[in-house]
Amino acid sequence: MDYFQSYADLEVHKCMLEDSARNSAYFQAILGNKDIFSGQTVLDVGAGTGILSVFCAQAGAKRVYAVEASDTYQISEEIVKENKCEDIIKVIHGDVDTVSLPEDGKVDIIVSEWMGHFLLHEGMLDSVIRARDKFLRPGGYLFPENATLYCSPCRVPSLNEDWKNVSGVSMLSFSKRLQNNSLSSPLLLNVKPEHILSEPEILLWIDLREATVDDVNCNKIQHLAVVDKSGRYQGICLWFTCSFPSLTSEPVVLSTSAEEPLTHWKQTVVALPVDISVERGQPIAYDISIRRSPDNNRKYGLEVEMLDPDDVVHPEYCTCFKTRCILTRAVLEKYENEQMQE
Amino acid sequence: MDYFQSYADLEVHKCMLEDSARNSAYFQAILGNKDIFSGQTVLDVGAGTGILSVFCAQAGAKRVYAVEASDTYQISEEIVKENKCEDIIKVIHGDVDTVSLPEDGKVDIIVSEWMGHFLLHEGMLDSVIRARDKFLRPGGYLFPENATLYCSPCRVPSLNEDWKNVSGVSMLSFSKRLQNNSLSSPLLLNVKPEHILSEPEILLWIDLREATVDDVNCNKIQHLAVVDKSGRYQGICLWFTCSFPSLTSEPVVLSTSAEEPLTHWKQTVVALPVDISVERGQPIAYDISIRRSPDNNRKYGLEVEMLDPDDVVHPEYCTCFKTRCILTRAVLEKYENEQMQE
């Protein structure tokens, strides 16, 4: 037994296991749905330390296949024994794309914690999709069953005005360097809710029951956000939610939004080479794309292009303060009122 | 101008500049002693981003030499300009061991933030000592002027009992691996004050006015700690304090103790391959050494040897619960009382 597994590997799992929002979402989704799990066969894709497999056993699963490709499978074997689940959980050391499962090779439920930063980056969604096609019985469940990636313009004071006064010293030339360094790759930050400048917009929605690997190669969307609190526009913030099936109660949602307790995913910020004062009602237009890296299937890049809000089509009921939108809204509302009175 | 300086370098300085306990100790020590700085010549050893040099200029220094060996000197030049201190602060790109200073080559004050983890590891004390010998006028000041390294037995629940129940799953086999991985090198942790098991003891005390480079090659001390709160003995915690000269008020002390607000140094923990239940009054004996690495002058190693408290000599007034110490204390106190009555 190799106790001296790479410290970096252990630290990654430590960080995930210390994320109580993550643990508790899976705990509630699984243990709160014993009717779904009772007597069923489960596949845990990328089982890691095996905690989700133990949840499934505790929820009454008849059989759990905990598939883990890395050496971490050794830890999951220990955890399974420590929790006296050897009769239910079978740890399989291998790649879920190549393993085969015992008996008819099918399962009733797939559980997986596959989400990476900004949902897809360094995640394992492809493996979950392929495992679904190969192993999930028709009508089977996926935990989670859908995922949404959100974005919104935001303030990034930690790259800007936070440095105006460091114990009486102005350090904006330092923050300028931080900012320049941040342009090349997205940042993982703890964004405060008051720094999110508009209602969230959806960049990507994935129904895990239907999605294909090609569906998550590249998504590009043009957004027109309307500022709902005055502030400085310095970046685009991204976060995701996942929701789990439920027969009875409200479905459990795991959210990495700035409004929710911080998770180990934090929020992702694309810093912009600008620092623009914006006010309530002001429209902000941008293109944003999330694209799979050509060099590494598991990596994704984010690209933001700032657009002139006068050059893009505003939605019919746009709430921005541009005269055209105010007039259009007034006309539409008047028309609706007339329709209702007839 | 190279804006794309290594992200890692910038992150190190960001981390230090965001440490408000550190900033504020230097700010108070320097700005609270304008009588010391007014009209004087100052050397800032390892100036980094230059924040301490700006403090000195603000405190009335006539001239500040900000010596920085790395490319960070470029940032300090920008910060000096941003704070309009070009006439007072001269940034010198070079190693303090080889540079020479203008005029008579002497200064009245040396400031430096040279402290590494557990005071010495990856710090710059040698450079400060050599700069003192080479540049400091007799009777000059050192900021800070002394430093103390403390140690105490402690609990380390994050490697132990914190893992007994992770959302209902027992993960002690995981923490066992974390613990085994931690035996090879000290950990940087945020230790809670209630996890410190005894009064602090001093491992090292450095008077920067007198110390030589050889004084900090190796220090080994045998400690007998007396447990002052029951708990589990799982490691040795180390932290340091530095104090600054003052003509008037109480000297400013920068403390990285678990009792004080967290700094970027955190606390250092040497994890032990044991988990021993100890109770109030119980003696804990250990040897601890801090030793300069033979391969790299700036690195230090820590070694702890656990000793049997029955094998070491207890101090005269030992407060431990061993019968011999209780009796000795009673006899000594009786004798003292008799002396006082005579």
- pLDDT tens digits, one per residue of A126-151: 999 999 999 999 999 999 999 999 99
Q: Are strands A41-45 and A63-68 parallel, antiparallel or unpaired?
A: parallel
* A4-33 b/e (C-beta count within 10 Å ≥ 16 → b): ebeeebbeebbebbebeebbebbbbbbbbb
- State how far the alpha carbon of B182 is from the alpha carbons of A234, B78, B164, B168, in Å: 40, 41, 18, 25
Q: Indicate yes or no: CB of B5 within 8 angstroms of CB of A55.
A: no
pLDDT higher than threshold 50 for residue A3 = no
- pLDDT, position B203: 95
Q: Is A122 a catalytic residue?
A: yes
| Higher-scoring residue by pLDDT: B302, A273 | B302
Most distant pair of Cα atoms in chain B: their distance: 80
- pLDDT, position B338: 87
- B198-B201-B206 Cα angle (round to 5): 155
Give which of B113, B177, B179, B182 to mutate to test A binding, by max A Cβ within 10 Å.
B177
What's the mean pLDDT in A172-176?
95
What's the mean pLDDT in A162-186?
93
**Distance, in angstroms, between B175 CA and closest chain A CA?**
9
Q: Indicate yes or no: CB of A51 within 8 angstroms of CB of B3.
A: no
Q: What is the mean pLDDT of chain A?
A: 94
From first CA to last CA, the distance across chain A in angstroms is: 80
- Per-residue pLDDT band at A317 (split at 50, 70, 90): confident
Is the Cβ of A17 closer than 8 Å to some Cβ of chain B? yes
Is the Cβ of A188 closer than 8 Å to some Cβ of chain B? no
Cα A340 to Cα A84: distance, rounded to the nearest angstrom: 65
pLDDT higher than threshold 80 for residue A6 = no
Q: Indicate yes or no: CB of A168 within 8 angstroms of CB of B58.
A: yes
Residue showing tokens 């569906």: A215
Cα B244 to Cα B146: distance, rounded to the nearest angstrom: 7
Q: Is A113 a catalytic residue?
A: yes
Cα B202 to Cα B234: distance, rounded to the nearest angstrom: 19
Residues 6+ apart with CB under 8 A from A294: none
Cα B237 to Cα B154: distance, rounded to the nearest angstrom: 6
pLDDT higher than threshold 70 for residue A2 = no
Cα B245 to Cα B249: distance, rounded to the nearest angstrom: 10
What's the mean pLDDT in A172-194?
93
- pLDDT, position A257: 98
Residues of A in contact with B75 (CB under 8 A): 173-174, 177
A43 closest CA partner among A121, A115, A99: A99
- pLDDT, position A49: 97
- pLDDT, position A1: 37
Residue A240 forms beta bridges with which residues? Answer: A149
Is the Cβ of B190 closer than 8 Å to some Cβ of chain A? no
A304 closest CA partner among A200, A241, A234: A234
- Per-residue pLDDT band at A338 (split at 50, 70, 90): confident
Task: DSSP letter for A10, please.
Answer: H
- A149-A154-A159 Cα angle (round to 5): 120
Give which of A18, A85, A173, A184 to mutate to test B binding, by max B Cβ within 10 Å.
A173
* A235-247 b/e (C-beta count within 10 Å ≥ 16 → b): bbbbbbbbbbbbe
Residues of B in contact with A170 (CB under 8 A): 79, 82-83
- pLDDT, position A332: 87
Is the Cβ of A59 closer than 8 Å to some Cβ of chain B? no
Tokens standing for A312?
Answer: 């893009």
Residues of B in contact with A75 (CB under 8 A): 173-174, 177
| Complete edge-to-edge strand list for the sheet that includes strand B89-93 | B89-93, B63-68, B41-45, B107-112, B136-143
Nearest CA in chain A to B57: A169
User: In this structure, which long-range contacts are made by residues A18-24, counting pairs with CB atoms below 8 Å and at least 24 apart in sequence?
Assistant: A18/A264, A19/A263, A19/A264, A20/A261, A20/B167, A21/A254, A21/A260, A21/A261, A21/A262, A21/A263, A22/A113, A22/A254, A22/A263, A22/A264, A23/A51, A23/B166, A23/B167, A24/B167
What's the mean pLDDT in A225-237?
96
Cα B124 to Cα B11: distance, rounded to the nearest angstrom: 19
- Three-class DSSP category at B279: coil
Residues 6+ apart with CB under 8 A from A224: A283, A284, A285, A309, A312, A314, A315, A318, A320
Can you give the pTM of this predicted structure? 0.91
Residues of A in contact with B17 (CB under 8 A): 166, 171, 174
Nearest CA in chain A to B20: A167
- Per-residue pLDDT band at A4 (split at 50, 70, 90): very low
Choice among A68, A77, A113, A145 that is catalytic: A113
Least trusted range by pLDDT, from A88-102, A175-189, B186-200:
A175-189
- pLDDT, position A334: 87
Low-confidence ranges of chain B (pLDDT < 70): 1-6
- pLDDT, position B5: 52
Phi, psi (deg, nearest 5) at residue A254: -95, 120
Q: What is the dihedral of CA B22, B20, A158, A19, to 10 degrees?
A: 100
- pLDDT, position B4: 42
Cα A226 to Cα A278: distance, rounded to the nearest angstrom: 10
Q: Indicate yes or no: CB of B31 within 8 angstroms of CB of A78.
A: no
